[in-house]
Chain A
Amino acid sequence: MTSIPAPIPTVTADAPRQSRPGRNYTLYVGLTLFALIVLAAIFAPLLTSADPLQQNLLQARLAPGSSGHLLGTDDLGRDVLSRILFGARIDLKVGVLAVLIPLVVGSMLGLLCGWWGRWFDTIVMRLVDIVVAFPFYVLVIALVFALGQGTRSIYIAISAVGWVAYCRIVRGQVLVAKEQEYALAARASGLPTWRILVRHLLPNVILQAIVYAMSDIVLSILAIVTLSYLGLGVAPPTPEWGSMIAEGQNSLLTQWYLATIPGLCVVVVGLALALIADGLVNQFNKR
């Protein structure tokens, strides 16, 4: 009658209590919150009857809670709620898409660097060092400035700067993974290199990059919001959270909510994505 051996508790002094094994609440809450936000953005026209671009000077500067305008109206009489919802469409779309290219390109480069090494690795890593030397925003701003305002430039700028992180992450993972047994076995069996890379190595090394992508989306959204605030992003009168904050700053004393609400939206999106990222980490730690 042997019992299952006890997991000898590695209790170390002052270590935090282990979180309960069981449901990954962090992940669920994060995903739910994010889903709600995305749905609100997608179904914006159903949620509000007001046109975000419609000016109505007679109804300008209404406070939140006024009839017909849940969040009030801005200086030009435009409904704040609908501008928020439609603005969400742009910010979310750009935020997510602007991460895809760096994710794909950076991971591919990282895969090649880690697997192949040699001069390719050296050159790419030098390039990484150089790009990393620039403060993120400064380089993005400079690139958008050079390429001209608008979402196309934003995609290019963020991609040009953002691929670096993924390259490093995946490269690091590959360097470890290629010494693992399954990689050595695949090589020994004579499979063509690309097959090894894509079907065997990639699934194992991509996870960390995906977790990072979650928080990178937040950075991306912050970038577009900041760019728009500085006048470099989406052109007015298209609703966008950053430019809304810029406009709101002018009437800060009288209509504080105009600048506050869009910022809060960004914070909430950030919270949702941070929860997802944390939840994913917890999920993989349990495997």
Chain B
Amino acid sequence: MPEPQQQPGHATPVLEAVDLHVEIPLPIGHLQAVRGVSLSVGAGESVGLVGESGCGKSITLRALLGLLPVPARVTGGALLLDGVDVLGMPERRRQRALTDAMSMVFQDSLTALNPVMRVGDQIAEVPRRRLGMSKSMAHARAIDLMDQVGIPDPEQRYRAYPHQLSGGMRQRVCIAIAMSTEPRVMLADEPTTALDVTIQAQVLAVIDKLRVERQLGLVLVSHDLAVVSQTCSRIYVMYAGRVVESGGSAPLLATPEHPYTDALLRSVPDPDAVVARLASIPGQPPTLVDVPRGCAFAPRCTYAADVCTAEASPPELEQVRAAEPHTTACLRHDDIDLSASAEDALALEKEAR
């Protein structure tokens, strides 16, 4: 797995979210989708955001991009772009600043593309409309981008419509579009989930290549731990709208310090083991309309104790050991011992691929 390109904390991260809160007003009540998430990504760095469906990772990405879906809004925290808080800016300027610096790749490449427009024109759109290039220059730029993301025969493919391309090819188009704005950070929301395993690897390789070549920051959202462990140097684990553990990929996956991370790792099936049933985490994540008391994972946690729900406010992240960037939100991390067998499970999974 890739080494961190820089020691965190040494240079100003390109993008930093500090205690971000996002709320979605619904008829049933106000849903606290993101409850105090802090994360950062530096130039050329790749961070992963993992968690099960509904934990708020996709909403977080949208908040980072400044394009939350209409009823949702940011209700607290700061969003720093090169150290400057953009949340204080008027909406237009904020969106401008964020969309200039960042771009996003979606899970479903088919719905992410305009069905009645040729893919080449969609890639050329930003160079033409925002960067002021002439039609032929924009065309050339699009071909160039298609080359960089590994689309064979780009002149031919330029004229294709989205539905005519295969999933992997389409995702490359989406990446090319993302690159057309010359971003500094790429946000990828489950970019490979809808793809075959072999194509997954190719697309991830393209993303990684671009990251290294252009010193792009990468925030990769996934529920697939294997993908994240291969591509990211740091991982944030989210649960119920909060980050419950974060740190370098290797140490975090080898020695998780939060029961949820541990449970996630264990739930990855071992293809060679004889199992009576699949290990899964019992129960369901909480509805975030009524904010749970204390640690949101407590109801499903094997190691839960009274201290976990004693305080109303959710537990803060604290460093596991001094001088290490590994943090956890488990109040009992010192008391409990999450065995190291988790790494074996993950290694076997990776080998099977």
The reply, when asked whether chain A contacts chain B directly with Cβ atoms under 8 A, is: yes
Which of A16-24, A228-236, A255-263 lies on the face that meets chain B?
A16-24
Q: Which residues of the partner chain B approach A15 to less than 8 Å between Cβ atoms?
A: 69-70
Contact B287–A6 (Cβ < 8 Å): yes
Instruction: Give Cα distance in the complex from A7 to B27, angstroms.
Output: 12
Q: Which residues of the partner chain A approach B70 to less than 8 Å between Cβ atoms?
A: 11, 13-15
Q: Is the interface of B mostly helix, strand, loop or mixed?
A: loop
Q: Which residues of the partner chain B approach A5 to less than 8 Å between Cβ atoms?
A: 284-285, 287
Contact B69–A14 (Cβ < 8 Å): yes
Out of A1, A6, A13, A14, name the residue touching B288 (CB < 8 Å). A6
Q: Which residues of the partner chain A approach B283 to less than 8 Å between Cβ atoms?
A: 2
Q: Which residues of the partner chain A approach B299 to less than 8 Å between Cβ atoms?
A: 1-3
> B-facing mask of A1-39, CB < 8 A → 1, else 0?
111111111011111011011000000000000000000
Contact B53–A6 (Cβ < 8 Å): no
Instruction: Give Cα distance in the complex from A141 to B283, angstroms.
Output: 67
Out of B54, B69, B71, B300, name the residue touching A6 (CB < 8 Å). B54
B323 nearest CB across to chain A (Å) = 38
A11 nearest CB across to chain B (Å) = 4
Report the nearest B residue to A14, measured CB to CB.
Answer: B70
Instruction: Give Cα distance in the complex from A6 to B53, angstroms.
Output: 11
B115 nearest CB across to chain A (Å) = 16
Instruction: Give Cα distance in the complex from A6 to B300, angstroms.
Output: 16
Contact B285–A9 (Cβ < 8 Å): no
Report the nearest A residue to B54, measured CB to CB.
Answer: A8
Q: Which residues of the partner chain B approach A9 to less than 8 Å between Cβ atoms?
A: 24, 26, 31
Q: Which residues of the partner chain B approach A17 to less than 8 Å between Cβ atoms?
A: 71
A49 nearest CB across to chain B (Å) = 51
Instruction: Give Cα distance in the complex from A5 to B282, angstroms.
Output: 12
| Known contacts A13-B69, A15-B69, A15-B70; is-contact A6 B27 (Cβ 8 Å) | no
Q: Which residues of the partner chain B approach A21 to less than 8 Å between Cβ atoms?
A: 27
B56 nearest CB across to chain A (Å) = 10
Q: Which residues of the partner chain B approach A12 to less than 8 Å between Cβ atoms?
A: 69
Q: Does B199 contact A (CB under 8 A)?
A: no
| Known contacts A20-B27, A21-B27; is-contact A11 B284 (Cβ 8 Å) | no
Q: Does B289 contact A (CB under 8 A)?
A: yes
Q: Which residues of the partner chain B approach A14 to less than 8 Å between Cβ atoms?
A: 69-70
Instruction: Give Cα distance in the complex from A212 to B111, angstroms.
Output: 32
Instruction: Give Cα distance in the complex from A15 to B72, angstroms.
Output: 11
Instruction: Give Cα distance in the complex from A11 to B287, angstroms.
Output: 16
A9 nearest CB across to chain B (Å) = 6
Q: Does B286 contact A (CB under 8 A)?
A: yes
Out of A1, A3, A18, A20, name the residue touching B287 (CB < 8 Å). A3
Smallest CB-CB A-B distances: 7 pairs: A6-B287, A11-B69, A5-B284, A2-B283, A13-B69, A1-B299, A8-B54
User: 12 additional contacts, CB 8 Å, given A3-B287, A5-B287, A6-B288?
Assistant: A1-B299, A3-B284, A5-B285, A6-B31, A6-B54, A8-B54, A9-B31, A11-B24, A11-B70, A11-B71, A13-B69, A15-B70
Would you mind naming 29 contact pairs between A and B with Cβ atoms under 8 Å apart?
A: A1-B299, A3-B284, A3-B287, A3-B290, A3-B299, A4-B284, A5-B285, A6-B31, A6-B54, A6-B285, A6-B286, A6-B287, A6-B288, A6-B289, A7-B28, A7-B287, A8-B54, A9-B24, A9-B26, A9-B31, A11-B69, A11-B70, A11-B71, A11-B72, A13-B67, A13-B69, A14-B70, A18-B27, A21-B27
